[in-house]
Amino acid sequence: MNDQVLGWVRAAKRIAVLTGAGMSAESGVPTFRDAQTGLWAQFDPAQLATEEAFRARPSMVWDWYAFRREMIAQVEPNAGHKALADFARRHPGRMTLITQNVDGLHQRAGSPGVLALHGNIFEDKWLDPPKACCNAAAAAAGSPPYCDRCGNMLRPDVVWFGEALPLRTLAAAEDAARACDLMLVVGTSGVVYPAAGLARTAAGKVVIINPHPTDLDDAADAVLRGTAAQLLPQLMED
């Protein structure tokens, strides 16, 4: 472990952590495209994860997400997820956790106040603005569930292609980046914006944690080559 980076973590009063798909890789969470197996191998996920696809073939898209939910539900948070959650419990209010992942593993590990930029695959929301009759708890069973009065359908609460990130969540993430003394960028390739832009606007030191080169390495004050489960337990042990 890099002693300088350890010193930065211990000295930082405000830490922002940005995580991507590599954060969950050691838990066995399949990447977006790696999840295309069996029946779903014939479909392009980029063509399923859109509002247009859901409106055209709601049952098929809902069933695809149900398949992904089943796959993700079988994995557990890894040592990296747990190290961040443990640090947050020991140092309340000192760290802001921002993730591009929709798998909910940070939340399951116990991290509070996670800023999930791309949503959570295990949560639902109404496809259209809900009317007074739309009660998710009483939605009619179906694939997808729906309001039996107006027909509004529930959809996974994730950001689809062509959709903007949730404004409040993104604003909170931007505030955390601008206010931090240290940003840890963990397991993200740095190619997806606006999330990747957070590292370039961070006010403090930027540390990349990734076993592979990323598009954000040039913005880093230090690069640690390794995985989240390998390095975070050492880095966050204070």
Per the domain annotation, does 126 fall within a domain?
A: no
Instruction: Give percent above pLDDT 90 in the chain.
Output: 83
Locus of tokens 């959650």: 85
Q: Are residues 168 and 113 in the same domain?
A: yes
Same domain, 95 and 205: yes
Structure tokens at 73: 């539900």
The boundaries of the domain holding residue 96 are: 1-28+77-118+164-238
118 carries an active-site annotation: yes
Count the domains in the chain. Answer: 2
pLDDT above 70 covers a percentage of the chain that reads: 94
Read out DSSP for the chain? --HHHHHHHHH-SSEEEEE-HHHHHTTTPPPTTTT--GGGGGS-HHHHSSHHHHHHSHHHHHHHHHHHHHHHHT----HHHHHHHHHHHHSTTSEEEEE---S-HHHHHT-SS-EETTEEEEEEEESS---TT--GGGPBPSSS-B-TTT--BEEEEEPPTTPPPPHHHHHHHHHHHHH-SEEEEES--S-STTTTHHHHH-SSEEEEE-SS--TTGGG-SEEE-S-HHHHHHHHT--
CATH number for the domain spanning 141: value is: 3.30.1600.10
The answer as to whether 123 is a domain residue is: no
| 190 & 238 share domain | yes
Which pLDDT score, from 0 to 100, does residue 238 have?
Answer: 75
Q: Give mean pLDDT, residues 213-237.
A: 95
Cβ-based neighbours of 144, under 8 Å, separated by 6 or more? 58, 59, 62, 153, 154, 155
**Would you state the structure tokens that stand for residue 15, as one six-digit string?**
């830490």
Nearest to 234 by CA among 203, 199, 209: 209
Overall average pLDDT of the 176-189 stretch: 96
**pLDDT tens track for 75-130:** 999 999 999 999 999 999 999 999 999 999 999 999 999 999 999 999 999 999 99
Residue that has been written with the tokens 């956790």 in this structure: 97
95 lies in the same domain as 193? yes
Same domain as 208, residue 112: yes
Indicate if 24 and 34 belong to the same structural domain: no
Stated pTM of the model: 0.92
- 81, 91, 106, 118: the catalytic one is 118
Predicted confidence (pLDDT) at residue 40 exceeds the cutoff of 80: no
What span, in angstroms and rounded, lies between the C-alpha atoms of 36 and 208?
29
**Which pLDDT value is given to residue 35?**
52
Q: In this structure, are 97 and 153 located in the same domain?
A: no
